[in-house]
Structure 1
């Protein structure tokens, strides 16, 4: 496996902190959410950073490469286009599933794949499909999880090692996610770091979170705690990472605080052991051409993922073997994130509905009955339609504003009640 290009210390670029990021001294690189940029209309801030020699890496969040179905060709093409437009040395994604097709459901978040032979076979084939389609190398990130799958056959280290052996894919190690899984699933970060092929390391993520009632929430909205920096230090004892990046996605602090967090991260990286770090024997990538995964394997995996996702977003019974309390916690977390993201993509809605609290209450009531099936922008339109069908909000002026908002974006009149009833009779549940 060829050595990875050096990236240095960087930060996740977000529009809300674009100016602060540009002012950071000694910034080596940035990472951008791939789905949030358009190749033909890159933000001026990113263009200025590139002119300064700051590298930009696209980080995908919606591919769902751990899902039961093969990766969508359009999503792969879009990810590749962004890599080319940004001049990126690689692209990254997550070892996760995010949707199912039967039923058609969207999690709006990254969900863990079962560490089973079936899931690994599917994941490896999906990775090879992605690698063949992408113009630059691919690296995959370990995710944070609130729930564990029953009947797992492999440890995290075994799962990741075999993934690298069978595909040659790079790893993006998120040390905050390692800490999250220590709290939520009892997995020792040191044991994971000792057992994965760190010579395949592309770079490292560092982020903050918060613990509530014994559950760690990987929020990306809090300062990086010392316990996560300790995991980073443990990784640094084992390898000199090609790159380390600070992630922050909400409750953005002032630029001085971001600079301070980067300085603490840089200190951990630079204070690592002197000289070359000794690695175990490199993992050899298997050269044999694998056979295709049987459709029965994909079907089994798909049924399991659909049962879990349906319990999380549609209120169906918790599948056998899962911790019901953890599934309910994850379900609430998914609904809260969904409300938050819809408010960002449709910032007019909280104002129309009387403020953030009124919006949140109305949206969570809607979300309990209506799983997301078409992404956040579609979700915002469906939420507005849901309210208008029910003659909400009660204030006529607010209802007129919501109607105008809906018409401007949907290009049609919201269905009346009789249309909703007809749809329900047709088995579409009022959609």
Structure 2
């Protein structure tokens, strides 16, 4: 088991600050945002200093009904090799649905969605994980995700689901304690019970992140300070096992470097407090069953983690059933179809709005000229577009289709902005870009918009 230490999520916005943090042992980079042939200079400098870099995938969709895409697996493997990483990580989630298994159009969620904790879903997930393990050059660890809603008819708790997954596949676990808190608020699941059921001997490392509560729902924003309840769960975890690594995630609203370092110090304090409790938790003479010991790593059977262990292939009817269930749910979230029976419609509405907002934010990042050209009208226009047009491809394609739809409708109303948008769309929609100077185009667009105001 690789001992990683204390780390932070590497993001371009805080790359310089991360490089200057003396006590950062390792970093994690979003795999899809890293090109193996053109690694960011910041990551290269960190690697030269001996800082471990772990690629963290977000688009594989291991919990989906279809087998993992070979191209995505190859890309993840390339990133692991380019970064010299000791492992790679992904999520226990589905991110797309539809397609051949359902004879319906493919839909993209644009975000991580929970899989049902059923035997069918577990069988499919186990096979998908083993396919990924066979394709990757280093060990794989999978992460529990946060959820706004529950699937009806679930057959296992999260801890039971993860335990069986680790036992059947030998996969390592990336435990996000912030997601345990999210599921406590949103789904009434006890974090302590989840930790007691988890196979902590399979732990690869831990995520810690912030969020916020609104109208009784916890949003895992990765844009706020880590709250005390999340640190308390980390302390509880550290009282049961010594985590090989702990990482602070922050994706937006980045604070000053000093604040990030203070958060890292607070995380270390929580680990120290938990470690002291772990020493005290050793069996004491005279302890009775009325006051049982916390479940500790050494009390659990070791999951079988041999590479040669075979995982049975999930039968086609199982994948088809799961595909139909996930497609019906995703269609309700992104295409406005009726909610499947048994789901909380209010919670699905919250999730649908969150997906649309996430989609608008990411499109604004991959196509930063659009918010500049459209100004304050960008967000309402995109959200209105998203309600009628589900995402069927990547975010760059989404940006092009959004711009093309606006132009087809004769928008925006301002003639200058419409001309600017048409030029932007034409430069990208043809077989070859009309310009290779995106920085210049963005600067020109910004200047023209400012002149119009």
- TM normalised by structure 2 equals 0.88
194, 216, 220: which one aligns with 1:192: 194
Structure 1 counterpart of 2:365: 344
Cα distance per residue 1:234-276 (max 9 Å; x no partner):
1011010000000000011111111111111111112333476
Q: 1:392 Cα shift?
A: 0.4
Secondary structure of 2:313 counterpart: coil
In structure 1, how many angstroms separate the alpha carbons of the residues matched to 2:300 and 2:175?
Answer: 19
Q: 1:375 Cα shift?
A: 1.1
Structure 2 counterpart of 1:420: none
Summarize the alignment of residues 106-145 of structure 1 with structure 2, pairs less than 5 Å apart.
106-145=108-147
Q: 1:395 Cα shift?
A: 0.7
Structure 1 counterpart of 2:52: 55
Summarize the alignment of residues 26-65 of structure 1 with structure 2, pairs less than 5 Å apart.
26-65=23-62
Structure 2 counterpart of 1:217: 219
Q: Conserved in 2, the CA contact under 8 Å of 1:95 and 1:113?
A: yes
Asked if 1:370 corresponds to 2:372, the answer is no
Cα distance per residue 1:74-101 (max 9 Å; x no partner):
0000000000000000000000000012
Structure 1 counterpart of 2:429: 410
Structure 1 counterpart of 2:440: none
Structure 1 counterpart of 2:246: 244
Secondary structure of 2:274 counterpart: coil
Cα distance per residue 1:340-378 (max 9 Å; x no partner):
1101111111111123xx110000010000000101111
Q: Conserved in 2, the CA contact under 8 Å of 1:94 and 1:141?
A: yes
In structure 1, how many angstroms separate the alpha carbons of the residues matched to 2:81 and 2:418?
Answer: 45
Q: Conserved in 2, the CA contact under 8 Å of 1:177 and 1:218?
A: yes
In structure 1, how many angstroms separate the alpha carbons of the residues matched to 2:184 and 2:42?
Answer: 37
In structure 2, how many angstroms separate the alpha carbons of the residues matched to 1:168 and 1:388?
Answer: 52
Structure 1 counterpart of 2:317: 296
Q: Conserved in 1, the CA contact under 8 Å of 2:73 and 2:136?
A: yes
Count of aligned residue pairs for this structure pair: 408
In structure 2, how many angstroms separate the alpha carbons of the residues matched to 1:25 and 1:284?
Answer: 36
In structure 2, how many angstroms separate the alpha carbons of the residues matched to 1:306 and 1:281?
Answer: 37
Structure 1 unaligned regions, length at least 5? 414-431
Secondary structure of 1:336 counterpart: helix
In structure 2, how many angstroms separate the alpha carbons of the residues matched to 1:225 and 1:254?
Answer: 18
380, 395, 398: which one aligns with 2:414: 395
Asked if 1:70 corresponds to 2:67, the answer is yes
Q: Conserved in 2, the CA contact under 8 Å of 1:208 and 1:225?
A: yes
In structure 2, how many angstroms separate the alpha carbons of the residues matched to 1:219 and 1:290?
Answer: 35
Summarize the alignment of residues 141-290 of structure 1 with structure 2, pairs less than 5 Å apart.
141-274=143-276, 278-279=296-297, 280-285=299-304, 289-290=310-311
Secondary structure of 2:129 counterpart: helix
Q: 1:412 Cα shift?
A: 7.0
Structure 2 counterpart of 1:417: none
In structure 2, how many angstroms separate the alpha carbons of the residues matched to 1:289 and 1:109?
Answer: 31
In structure 2, how many angstroms separate the alpha carbons of the residues matched to 1:222 and 1:290?
Answer: 40
Structure 2 unaligned regions, length at least 5? 282-295, 433-453
In structure 1, how many angstroms separate the alpha carbons of the residues matched to 2:397 and 2:122?
Answer: 32
Summarize the alignment of residues 320-359 of structure 1 with structure 2, pairs less than 5 Å apart.
320-355=341-376, 358-359=377-378
Q: 1:157 Cα shift?
A: 1.0
Q: 1:44 Cα shift?
A: 0.3
Q: Conserved in 1, the CA contact under 8 Å of 2:143 and 2:176?
A: yes
Q: Conserved in 1, the CA contact under 8 Å of 2:26 and 2:52?
A: yes
In structure 2, how many angstroms separate the alpha carbons of the residues matched to 1:254 and 1:155?
Answer: 39
Q: 1:408 Cα shift?
A: 1.1
Secondary structure of 1:263 counterpart: helix
Structure 2 counterpart of 1:423: none
Q: 1:286 Cα shift?
A: 7.5
- TM normalised by structure 1 equals 0.93
CA RMSD of aligned residues (A): 1.3
Structure 2 counterpart of 1:305: 326
